[in-house]
Amino acid sequence: MARAGLSPQVVVRAGADLADEVGFDEVTPSALARRLGVRAASLYSHVGGADDLRTRIALLALDELADLASEALAGRSGKDALVAFAGCYRDFAREHPGRYAAMQVRLSPEAAAAGPGGRHADLTRAILRGYGLTGVDETHAVRLIGSVVHGFTTLELGGGFDHSAPPPDRTWSRILDGVDTVLRSWAAPS
């Protein structure tokens, strides 16, 4: 009887790919087992169950996106960094909708701590070096960037922009212009 050569890594990656194709909600042990050509019970040697599978996919996606964002930020600062960082998130969501959806699951405290949760905040903070924001201003700015990028990306992915005329790309760059302006105004002593 030939073996499929599974391992936790292989299973989780296949789960992430499946999520991108059919949606994160459709990623179930049985569906994943079908795709991998094994029986559902066989997956329980590699992942703990449906919840564990979803959590691991989320952590994988967070890690992958953090890698991409880290690379995109290298050597950039100020608005250049902001645009690169935001574009990274948006592109990731469009190319990997299932992984992006996975990232939204509320992680258990231990999973969040052990995982790459803090990496994203650190990366966002790195953008702000060019803006000279410190202390609470820095945190406000991290939250502003996160809100705008995540909000736009989610709405675009959900089809919220499909019914009105101008292409989302135009809106995207105008919004980033606006964020840049706001961040620079925050840098000035208020």
Residues that bind DNA (CB under 7 A): 1-7, 28-31, 37-42, 44-46, 49-51
Furthest-apart CA atoms within the chain: distance in Å: 71
Interaction of residue 159 with a second copy, rule CB under 8 A:
yes
- Binding to a second copy (CB under 8 A) within 29-88 occurs at none
Interatomic CA distance for residues 172 and 122, integer angstroms: 23
For a second copy, which residue of 142, 187, 188, 189 counts as binding (CB under 8 A)? 142
- Write out the two tokens for 127: 């953008």
Interaction of residue 152 with a second copy, rule CB under 8 A:
yes
Instruction: For residue 127, count other CB atoms closer than 10 A to its CB.
Output: 26
The entry of a second copy, DNA, none near residue 126 (CB within 5 to 8 angstroms by kind) is none
For a second copy, which residue of 104, 114, 122, 134 counts as binding (CB under 8 A)? 104
Name the residue nearer to a second copy (CB basis): 3 or 163: 163
Q: What DSSP line would sit under 127-149, residue for residue?
A: HGGGGT--HHHHHHHHHHHHHHH
Interaction of residue 111 with a second copy, rule CB under 8 A:
no
CB of 48 to DNA, least distance (A): 7
Interatomic CA distance for residues 6 and 42, integer angstroms: 9
Interaction of residue 28 with a second copy, rule CB under 8 A:
no
Contact at 8 Å (CB) between 18 and 98? yes
For a second copy, which residue of 5, 75, 164, 188 counts as binding (CB under 8 A)? 164
Interatomic CA distance for residues 83 and 78, integer angstroms: 9
